[in-house]
Amino acid sequence: MRCVCLALFLSACGGDGSGVQGPEGADGLNSLIRTERVEPGAECAAGGVRVLSGLDANADGELGPDEVSGESFVCAGEGGEQGPGGQTPLIRTEDVAPGEDCAAGGVRVLSGLDANANAELDPDEVSAESLVCTGVEGLNSLIRTEEEPAGENCGYRGSAVSVGLDTNADGELGDDEIQETIYVCDTLFTDLAFPSPETLTYGSAGWAVPISAGQSRSFYALDHFLRHYFTVPTPHFVSSLSYRLEVYDDTYMSNCDGTAPAGGFDAVRDFEITIDGVRIHTFSFEGDHQGQTLTLEGSVDFEPFWLEDEHFVHIGPLDEVCVGGGTYRWETGGRFVFSG
């Protein structure tokens, strides 16, 4: 069993669709796969992983240099254009005994993100797996890697690693010969500092005021909301958001019937986060903290959607407010991080 750490922002090298000849099912020999890290160089400009396959000719359970019959590369791409990287993709292989999964045995290829940053692909981190079975009746097993564009399988881009048997013996893995495909996906992060000069606060009368860099701004009614405008240099799908915000709260409010909210002036205030008017998350905090600064943080997954060109993040209250007083303000140093 081997575990190799892939660099962030993976892309496929050698994705010309040609098959990589794998182990041949002859004389009862077992097929093996070995992965090893590739330093930046001719094969992969930014480094990556080499996937080697072959027959265990000496039956020692390891794929020696003279037993390698095929290789494929999954290469790290250039650094992302929109913020820092996150969790590191990992690949792990393990032997498969003869049985229901593989009649003559084989190798299982597992992949996923290193959520706990221990450089090992733990069972709860596996997001995809594929089988490479020992060839039967002289058939060769093949591996093919191709670039995977942004879409249903990878939000930004990545590599599709396909395996199967060369049933027509042409040395290439055709589409109709693919048994399994796993996707090693890049992750692109859109990291927004909040508030910033691109953040505007709106009042109930329709006015808008920018928040200057390095400053915070006080608001005197809970119906004020904020919009943060941003441009996406590289179009991509996003499917998750992490945020950490700080708000200074010294407010009170009453409902439109003239009574204080349930819970008095310590009432829970509900806010929403939307992108281009589509709600993706809500959060709450209690009011009347007598000038305390509250930290609001969390993360949320949602249905993937396409980010391209200009967009805005909206933070606004869900409470219906007729009477309110005191102040609250969004402090500088907050962040929104979208990923996909």
DSSP annotation of 194 reads E
How far apart (Å, rounded) are the C-alpha atoms in residues 300 and 302?
A: 7
How far apart (Å, rounded) are the C-alpha atoms in residues 115 and 124?
A: 9
Integer-rounded Cα Rg, in Å, for the chain is: 27
Measured distance between the N- and C-terminal CA atoms of the chain, rounded to whole angstroms:
29
What per-residue confidence (pLDDT) applies to 305? 78
How far does Cα 171 stand from its chain's mean position? 34
Strands (E), 45-172: 48-55, 68-76, 89-96, 106-113, 126-133, 140-148, 158-165
What per-residue confidence (pLDDT) applies to 137? 53
What per-residue confidence (pLDDT) applies to 135? 56
DSSP annotation of 162 reads E
What per-residue confidence (pLDDT) applies to 122? 87
What per-residue confidence (pLDDT) applies to 252? 59
How far apart (Å, rounded) are the C-alpha atoms in residues 174 and 50?
A: 21
Sheet holding 178-185, edge to edge: 20-24, 140-148, 158-165, 178-185
Fold entry, domain 190-339: Jelly Rolls (2.60.120)
Question: For every one of its 340 residues, what pLDDT tens digit does the chain have, with 9 covering 90 and above?
Answer: 333 222 222 222 333 333 344 444 444 556 666 777 777 777 776 666 677 777 777 878 777 888 877 676 666 544 433 333 445 566 777 878 888 777 777 777 777 777 787 878 888 888 767 666 665 555 667 788 888 887 777 777 788 888 777 778 788 888 888 877 878 777 777 788 777 767 776 655 455 555 543 444 555 444 567 788 888 877 778 888 888 888 777 665 555 455 555 544 445 667 788 888 888 888 776 655 567 777 878 888 877 778 788 888 888 777 655 555 566 677 777 887 877 7
Amino acid identity of residue 197, one-letter, is P
What per-residue confidence (pLDDT) applies to 203? 56
Residue 275, helix vs strand vs coil: strand
How far apart (Å, rounded) are the C-alpha atoms in residues 304 and 339?
A: 10
- Going from the C-alpha of 321 to that of each of 115, 221, 275, 329, the distances in angstroms are 42, 8, 23, 17
Any idea where the domains of the chain sit in the sequence?
2-187, 190-339
**Contact (CB, 8 A) for 22 and 142:** yes
**Contact (CB, 8 A) for 11 and 75:** yes
